[in-house]
């Protein structure tokens, strides 16, 4: 797991090593074990290495092919590289290391731009072809590893993190005003957008070819469309048991110490059970919880699970002061504000784990593929809701729900059910700040600027591919390719790499997800039981009382902190003359929202935390640039 950087200028220009070094130095946290730079005329590549596979210097990057034609910088892990290597050896390829990077180079000689189709792993890489003067970049299927790029004025610049690109002179640090509106709509910025003008992130499952004249061609290399099978429950359960085991075993490949991010829930608990079955040594498991409230009692339940499988258990209790002290660095590492109040907590998991291991598996991804969220229940039964007479819905159900305090998600769900147009219904389900709120929140100039934004386009391109599937199956397909990537996986990568930890996600193993997406929705959400077939599957490893205990979620005291420790911090940022709030929003309306939150009339935790993150981002990256 590493950090990569690079610049391709027009022919006749020259890339200086000192510039590439600046780009790699600022992301040294992604790779503290080694660094490498290679420059030749108008191309420069940089690499920071976190040694996981092949701890010797034979894994040093940039790495060259045997014939010297190709040069690679690579971030990630390829879990099927041993099998790929065997096939290449049969074709007389010679290898000089145990590194998966060398396998990628050899396979590129065989497959060229079809290379990513053969990889099962988490990756972002760039390969320079000296002969053809072409640069090839690719990002993994679900976007576990980030890859950003700047493409302007006859130059192409890329990096694992935005801050590397911002080191280059001539790149203006400007807010993308359209992206701000979209961020407030979805609480994350969908790929390929970022909050920085002219800096994009490569979409998951996409590759780019850049010619030396700086012409660019982008393609999707994995356009998987599920074919829903109709088989017996036992077939899916037995197949999943096999795939869960093989995926976990594949992702435990490492020459460095490995552990598990353990919550109180069923997903990471199942991983612990499987890892314990595979490993001869006790698994090291790491959990955090919050000092205030103990609403989830995360540590207590996680410790019980750890003891069940003889794991070495480590925990850390996060205090309000920890969160506040870390917040500025949190935004610096995250680079993209996100309305996810628990995101920073993963930093504290990784920080604790880094004392003992270099690799951390976690249970991310199964909620999106297996219907683990409340919105999945809403979309499945939306047709039944619409059959209720409008008189009853409008005069009894809606007033009942909208008079409840602290029900932002439920309100959103009910609003979405009024729409017959499926795309509109999906949009309302995902929208955090809806149009009526924007009319009050945005000042007139900004509202006029963004009034024609096509919000549906960011998920409609996926929905149209699976239009013949059920509404639930469509939503799961979209979730796995949008909010999972640009929210949860982004936070996980940035927070883990901030501590030089590699995070892995066995439930997003490519063959496993392809099989999961062939399972009918009726087996994923049965009545009101989400992840039904997943839970039946892991009965092989976990006791039923653990599997079917009430879902806790990862709660935190952010609602309280925004009224206390973070209150003055938030209000100071909002009311600053140079704040985004002062430039684009109605300050009086913001103050009304905050007062409702402070008095407990409404719960605006998610929006206020997002606003806090946006303003801190503005101060860190734009005003102090």
CA quadruple 157, 161, 167, 173: dihedral positive or negative? positive
Cα–Cα–Cα angle for 193, 199, 201, rounded to 5 degrees = 50
Q: How far apart are CA 351 and CA 356, in angstroms?
A: 10
In whole angstroms, what is the distance from residue 327 CA to residue 620 CA? 11
Residues 476 and 368 sit within 8 Å (Cβ to Cβ): yes
Alpha-carbon distances of 164 from 86, 160, 182, 289, 481, rounded to whole Å? 36, 8, 24, 33, 26
Rounded to an integer, what distance in angstroms lies between the CA atom of residue 108 and that of residue 115? 6
Q: How far apart are CA 536 and CA 534, in angstroms?
A: 5
Q: For residue 4, which phi and psi values (nearest 5 degrees)?
A: -125, 150
Q: Round to whole Å and give the CA distance between 469 and 426.
A: 14
Give the span between the Cα atoms of 114 and 104, in whole angstroms.
12
- H helix or E strand, kind and range, residue 559: helix 558-561
Token code pair at residue 246 = 């093989």
Task: Output the 3-class SS for 125-148.
Answer: EEEEECCCCEEEEEECCCCCCCCE
| CA–CA dist 473, 362 (Å, integer) | 24
Residue 480 CA to its chain's centroid (Å):
10
Cα separation, 427 vs 458, whole angstroms = 10
Q: Are strands 359-361 and 502-504 parallel, antiparallel or unpaired?
A: parallel
Annotated active-site residue in 2, 39, 220, 451: 2
Cα dihedral 231→232→238→243 (10° resolution)? 30
- 172-181: list long-range contacts, CB under 8 Å, 24+ apart: 172/197, 172/198, 173/621, 173/622, 173/625, 174/198, 174/622, 175/580, 175/618, 175/622, 177/446, 177/449, 177/450, 177/584, 178/450, 178/453, 180/580, 180/584, 180/614, 181/438, 181/442, 181/446, 181/450, 181/453
Helix (H) or strand (E) holding 157: strand 155-159
Annotated active-site residue 2? The verdict is: yes
Rounded distance between C-alpha atoms, residue 16 and residue 93, angstroms: 34
**Residue 503 neighbours by CB under 8 Å, 6+ apart:** 144, 261, 346, 350, 360, 361, 362, 492, 493, 496, 497
Residues with catalytic function:
2
């Amino acid at each position: 797991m590493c950090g990569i950087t690079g610049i391709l200028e027009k022919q006749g220009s020259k890339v200086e090593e000192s510039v590439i070094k600046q780009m790699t130095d600022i992301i040294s946290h992604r790779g503290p074990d080694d660094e490498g730079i290679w420059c030749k005329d108008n191309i420069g590549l940089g690499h920071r290495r976190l040694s996981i596979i092949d701890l010797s210097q034979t894994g040093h990057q940039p790495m060259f092919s045997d014939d010297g034609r190709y040069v690679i910088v690579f971030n990630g892990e390829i879990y099927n590289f041993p099998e790929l290597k065997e096939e290449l050896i049969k074709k007389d390829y010679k290898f000089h290391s145990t590194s998966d990077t060398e396998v990628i180079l050899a396979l590129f000689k065989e497959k060229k731009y079809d290379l990513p189709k053969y990889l099962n792993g988490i990756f972002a890489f760039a390969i320079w072809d000296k002969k053809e003067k072409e640069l090839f970049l690719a990002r993994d299927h679900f976007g576990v590893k980030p890859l950003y790029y700047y493409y302007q004025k006859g130059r192409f610049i890329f990096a694992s993190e935005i801050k590397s690109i911002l080191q280059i002179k001539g790149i203006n640090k400007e807010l993308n005003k359209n992206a701000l509106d979209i961020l407030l709509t979805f609480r994350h910025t969908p790929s390929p957008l970022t909050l920085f003008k002219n800096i994009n992130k490569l979409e998951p499952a996409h590759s780019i070819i850049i010619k030396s004249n700086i012409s660019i061609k982008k393609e999707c290399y994995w356009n998987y469309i599920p074919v829903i099978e109709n088989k017996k429950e036992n077939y899916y359960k037995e197949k999943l048991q096999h795939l869960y085991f093989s995926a976990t075993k594949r992702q435990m490949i490492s020459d460095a110490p490995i552990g598990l991010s353990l919550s109180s829930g069923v997903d990471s608990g199942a991983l612990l059970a499987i890892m314990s079955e595979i490993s001869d040594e006790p698994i090291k498991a790491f959990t955090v919880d919050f000092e205030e409230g103990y609403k989830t009692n995360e540590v207590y339940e996680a410790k019980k699970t750890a003891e069940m499988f003889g794991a070495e258990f480590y925990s850390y209790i996060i205090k309000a002061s920890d969160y506040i002290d870390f917040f500025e660095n949190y935004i610096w590492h995250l680079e993209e504000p996100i309305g996810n109040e628990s995101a920073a907590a993963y930093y504290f998991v990784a920080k604790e784990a880094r004392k003992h291991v270099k690799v951390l598996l976690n249970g991310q991804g199964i909620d999106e593929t297996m219907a683990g969220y409340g919105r999945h229940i809403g979309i499945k039964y939306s047709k039944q809701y619409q059959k209720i007479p409008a008189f009853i819905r409008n005069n009894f159900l809606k007033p009942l729900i909208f008079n409840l305090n602290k029900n932002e998600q439920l309100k959103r769900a009910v609003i979405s059910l009024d729409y017959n147009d499926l795309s509109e219904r999906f949009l309302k389900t995902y929208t955090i700040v809806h149009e009526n709120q924007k009319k009050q929140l945005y000042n007139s100039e900004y509202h006029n600027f963004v009034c024609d934004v096509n919000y549906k386009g960011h998920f409609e391109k996926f929905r149209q591919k699976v239009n013949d599937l059920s509404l639930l199956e469509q939503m799961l397909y979209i979730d796995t390719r949008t909010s999972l990537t640009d929210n949860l996986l982004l936070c996980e990568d940035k927070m883990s790499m901030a501590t030089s930890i590699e995070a892995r996600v066995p439930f997003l193993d490519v063959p496993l997800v392809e099989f999961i997406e062939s399972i009918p929705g009726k087996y994923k959400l049965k009545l009101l039981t989400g992840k039904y077939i997943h839970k039946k599957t892991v009965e092989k490893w976990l006791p039923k009382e653990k599997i079917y205990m009430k879902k806790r979620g990862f709660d935190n005291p952010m609602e309280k902190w925004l009224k206390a420790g973070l209150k003055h911090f938030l209000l100071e940022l909002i009311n600053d003359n140079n704040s985004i709030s002062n430039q684009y929003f109605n300050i009086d309306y913001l103050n009304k929202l905050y007062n409702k939150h402070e008095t407990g009339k409404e719960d605006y935790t998610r929006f206020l935390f997002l606003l806090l993150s946006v303003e801190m981002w503005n101060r860190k990256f734009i005003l102090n640039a």
